[in-house]
Structure 1
Amino acid sequence: MSDIPVAQVLKRGQGAGASETVVLDYDGRFLRRKRLVAESGLAFVVDLEKTTSLDDGDALELGDGRLVAVRAAAEDVLEIRGSLARLAWHIGNRHTPCQICDDHLVIQRDPVIRHMLEHLGADVRETVRPFTPEGGAYGHGRTHSHEHGHTAHAH
């Protein structure tokens, strides 16, 4: 028996009633063609026209109509506290994906960025938690290798 194909990606809020769940880390949620396995053991194949960034809360509609909820996996991250606007500017200047919370920032563990942030006076703590960074300013989900469209600036 072959794996079930994904028919379409449903963005957050459109996949109510999902009967299956797949848990993926940040890098794993950026895909075009891949075989995935839901927590129940159900195998399915993603074969999208273009590389797509999935967010926690999105869903995949399978060819047989079943819905698979996408959840962010816990992963090694750094929680950053301090002068958040200044620290966020330095993180963004390095095109590092960043999750923005009310009282702290979260990035993937990176010893070089950690050293820079500590040098800037940040309080940095290692932890393990789901990582759901901000999407790109132009709605593409990822901040690297981005396109802006016709009305924005060119690099």
Structure 2
Amino acid sequence: MVTLVRRSPPDAAAEVHCTLALTAEERSRSRYRLTLDDGSAVHLQLPRGTVLREGDLLEAEDGQCWGRVVAKPEPVLTVRGQTPFDLLRAAYHLGNRHVALELQPTLLRLSPDPVLQALVEQLGLLVEPEVAPFQPEAGAYHGTHEH
């Protein structure tokens, strides 16, 4: 069994045995089984409501640092606008639909959805389907990155 260890900021010098490339959905599960690249199986059991982020460290039951979380590239829609206000407006409309959304200074990212893509394009923004790491905001009720 592997449990989550929070280090703020993540300890770049920590010795890790592997990295776990997980999609946004996988990083939001609290209990699941993973198969590593070497074929071995790992059972993650994290506190309910935990959302793993890029760079989080995982610790084995014996207390040894075991792995580092990496945001796995996955299909996303990347949204860009002419101005910051364009992105703000799109984020407002997507937020009203409770869409998981990654916010960056020059772009927004969301899971592929043709209806949402049409909505954003109707607002005059450029939407590009891509494969990229997806790190949506955890939400106001999840607090900060720390647990």
TM range (shorter): 0.7 to 0.9
Which runs of no fewer than 5 residues in structure 1 stay unpaired? 142-155
In 2, Cα distance between the equivalents of 1:14 and 1:86?
Answer: 33
Deviations along 1:73-129, whole A, 9 cap, x unmatched? 111111111211111111111111111122111111111100111111111111100
Please say if residues 32 and 52 of structure 1, whose CA atoms lie closer than 8 Å, have aligned partners that are also in contact: yes
Q: Which amino acid aligns with 1:28?
A: E
Alignment partner, residue 37 of structure 2: 39
Alignment partner, residue 71 of structure 2: 72
Q: Which amino acid aligns with 2:15?
A: G
Q: Which amino acid aligns with 1:61?
A: E
2:110 is the counterpart of 1:110 = no
In 1, Cα distance between the equivalents of 2:89 and 2:47?
Answer: 38
* Matched length: 138
In 2, Cα distance between the equivalents of 1:77 and 1:126?
Answer: 6
Q: TM-score, normalised by structure 1?
A: 0.78
Question: What stretches of structure 1 move > 4 A for 4+ residues in a row?
Answer: none
RMSD of the TM alignment (CA)?
Answer: 2.2
- Which structure has more RCO (C-alpha within 8 Å, separation ≥ 6)? 2
Change in Cα spacing, 1:13 to 1:20, as seen in structure 2 (3 Å) is farther
Q: Offset of 1:55 from its aligned partner?
A: 1.0
SS in 2 for 1:50: coil
Task: State the identity %.
Answer: 36
Please say if residues 57 and 65 of structure 2, whose CA atoms lie closer than 8 Å, have aligned partners that are also in contact: no
In 1, Cα distance between the equivalents of 2:72 and 2:25?
Answer: 10
Alignment partner, residue 54 of structure 2: 56
Q: TM-score, normalised by structure 2?
A: 0.82
